[in-house]
Amino acid sequence: MKTFLILGAGTAGTMIAIKMSRKLDPQEWKIILVDRDQNHYYQPGFIFLPFGMHKPQDVVKPKRSFVPRRVEFILSDIELVEPENSRVKLTNGREIPYDQLVIATGTDIHPEQTEGMLDGGWRKNIFDFYSFEGSVALGEFLKHWQGGRLVLNITEMPIKCPVAPLEFIFLADWYFKQRGMRDKVELIYATPLSGAFTKPRAAAAFGDMLSKRGIHVEADFNIAAVDSSRQIIVSWDEREIPYDLLVTIPTNMGAEVFERSGMGDDLNYVPTDKATLRSKNWENVWVMGDATDLPSSKAGSVVHFQLDVITENILAAIKGQPLPAAFDGHSLCYIESGDHKAAMIDFNYDTEPLPGVYPLPVVGPFSLLKETTINHWGKLAFRYMYWDMMLRGIPVPLPSKMSMAGKRP
Amino acid sequence: MTTVSLENVKFNEEGYMVDPNAWTPEIAKAIAEREGVVLTDRHWVVINYARAEFKAKGEAPTLRNITKNTDVSTKELYALFPGGPAKLAAKIAGLGKPTGCI
């Protein structure tokens, strides 16, 4: 009996477990899925929690309920991965030798990487919304906030879902307008990037959306420290921004086990071939989703687009055949912009986000780089598609490869 | 002393050298001058490290990588290479844009 081992039961790990449980012969293969957390979080829903647009229970379900019957699910943290011996040691003492390994351990926030971030103000007037606990705590805080200066700061790139900080500031603008207190709130967007986004066309479009709302952008701001006693953040080039409420996107890093195991880069992401999704160093190790070091977005849609590629390649590798499939870095994101509207971007390694319609030429129905109501309903509908289709292994009809159809270059 | 001319050196539209192998320490001095930086021994610690990293891995190092593997702190890096240190150091070292900057 051979072992197909998957580390991490988030979006990527769960989807590959379902896929492989259908593809691998049960007489020949055992599938094991490991995760330290029993809850599955719908992470795109975190953005709505601070503004009371989702309830906490909307975004949490037990992981086990998505695991196929033939897959063994183990609740444990990982002590060490030994790729030279094709073996994984769990913190619960168990050792698992594997024939094929998929790493899908994701990325997490590390506020301790910034000096002073955890001193005094953390979860008092400094919050994140990249964790379930952070989003819920920020929601409680905002209910009673009387206004002042809200500073949103991105610590450093890369981060999961690079559009989420924009969504947050757009939704904040709308939220305070609805509560009749927008004039009591100053909104600052402090980013290490030179503009609103990483790619030029989208940066221009989002820049317009920010200035239209009276949101000040502080560009090229690389945070050095938080001084919570003076309520300021300081950059390495010694600029200071005072805040009453700091909403931070802390440094994002991969799982620490890859530092212990000598498998990660400086941020504990696992070096991955950008086309085949095989580890750069070990032939029977594969990497999916946020855990990779790929120059693509860290987002659920990317996992969806990687799934068919990695499945084909793993099945070919098992048969000793050359790897047939290549990932193009495809990413698709909704950007909630408030007032029941959203924008959308669709791009890959080589093509930046462009205006146009998606997924079908002319009819769309979604509009790219433009705020529409139907985009917003698309984002809301996506939560049901996620729980009831993606995590159940029901194909979502969006092709892996990015298409130029409908786009205006 | 006259610095070497950059006339025959090819740069891409963002100002990074097209061919890292055509780089010489003299070219570094000229690029630095164009960027308003006077190179000291501490700059060379960073530049030499960036060149070595590029040779080993094929990519310019990120800021985090530089501070982790040299005795240069982030604070000092910003003083040496004002603005975006990883980008400016890569530029002067004749390398492409560090991938961490995407």
List pLDDT tens digits, range A32-81.
999 999 999 999 999 999 999 999 999 999 999 999 999 999 999 999 99
User: Quick check: is A56 in a domain?
Assistant: yes
H or E, element range at A253: strand A251-254
CA atoms within 13 A on the CB side of A247: 28
Chain B residues whose CB is inside 8 A of the A267 CB are 64
Q: Is B56 on the interface with A (CB under 8 A)?
A: no
Structural domains in chain A (count): 3
User: Quick check: is B50 in a domain?
Assistant: yes
Residues A124 and A231 in one domain: yes
Check residue A49 and report its DSSP letter: G
What sign does the dihedral A16-A21-A22-A24 (CA atoms) show? positive
Q: In this predicted structure, which of A102-106, A227-231, A288-292, A349-353 has the lowest mean pLDDT?
A: A349-353
| pLDDT of B101 above 60 | no
Chain A residues whose CB is inside 8 A of the B65 CB are 266
Residues A244 and A144 in one domain: yes
Indicate the SS3 state at residue A367. strand
Amino acid at B6: L
- CB spacing of A237 vs B83 below 8 angstroms: yes
Bridge-based pairing state of the strands A87-90 and A78-82: antiparallel
Between the CA of residue A224 and those of A154, A155, B49, what are the distances in Å? 12, 9, 23
Beta carbons of B83 and A141 less than 8 angstroms apart = no
Bridge-based pairing state of the strands A100-103 and A285-287: parallel
Beta carbons of B69 and B81 less than 8 angstroms apart = no
Beta carbons of A11 and A300 less than 8 angstroms apart = yes
| pLDDT of B102 above 70 | no
Instruction: Give the closest-approach CA distance of B61 to chain A in angstroms.
Output: 10
User: Quick check: is B4 in a domain?
Assistant: no
Per-position DSSP letters for A205-218, written without gaps between them? HHHHHHHHTTPEEE
Nearest residue to B51 (alpha-carbon basis) of B80, B71, B68, B28 = B28
Predicted local distance difference test score (pLDDT) of residue A396: 86
CATH number at residue A51: 3.50.50.60
Of the residues A214, A235, A251, the one at which a domain ends: A251
What sign does the dihedral A10-A15-A20-A22 (CA atoms) show? positive
Instruction: Give the closest-approach CA distance of A39 to chain B in angstroms.
Output: 31
| pLDDT of B2 above 80 | no
Identify the domain containing residue B55 by its residue range.
Answer: 20-95
Between the CA of residue B29 and those of B12, B24, B45, B90, what are the distances in Å? 18, 9, 14, 13
What sign does the dihedral A399-A209-A130-B102 (CA atoms) show? positive
Chain B residues whose CB is inside 8 A of the A266 CB are 62, 64-65, 68
| pLDDT of B56 above 50 | yes
Beta carbons of A285 and A103 less than 8 angstroms apart = yes
pLDDT tens by residue, A135-171: 999 999 999 999 999 999 999 999 999 999 999 999 9
Nearest residue to A329 (alpha-carbon basis) of A312, A344, A351 = A351
Of the residues A269, A289, A318, the one at which a domain ends: A318
Return the number of other C-beta atoms located less than 10 Å from residue B58's C-beta. 10
Query: What's the rounded Cα separation, in Å, for the pair B94 and B29?
Result: 11
User: Residue A340: left (phi > 0), alpha (psi -120 to 50), or beta?
Assistant: left
Between the CA of residue A253 and those of A2, A91, A290, what are the distances in Å? 32, 20, 9
- CB spacing of B101 vs A266 below 8 angstroms: no
- Nearest residue of A to residue B74 by CA position? A236
Nearest residue to A245 (alpha-carbon basis) of A229, A225, A231 = A231
Mutate to test the interface with B, among A220, A234, A236, A273 (most CBs of B within 10 A): A236
User: Quick check: is A325 in a domain?
Assistant: no
Residues A247 and A119 in one domain: yes
pLDDT tens by residue, A324-338: 999 999 999 999 999
Structural domains in chain B (count): 1
Rounded to an integer, the average pLDDT of A243-270 is: 97
H or E, element range at B65: helix B63-69
Chain A neighbours among B 15-34 (CB < 8 Å)?
Answer: none
Residues A98 and A14 in one domain: yes
pTM for this model (two decimals)? 0.93
Chain A residues whose CB is inside 8 A of the B77 CB are 236
Residue A377 φ/ψ, nearest 5 degrees: -65, -30
Residues A243 and A308 in one domain: no
Q: Is B42 a catalytic residue?
A: no
Instruction: Give the closest-approach CA distance of B98 to chain A in angstroms.
Output: 11
Identify the domain containing residue A218 by its residue range.
Answer: 111-251
CATH number at residue B76: 1.10.10.370
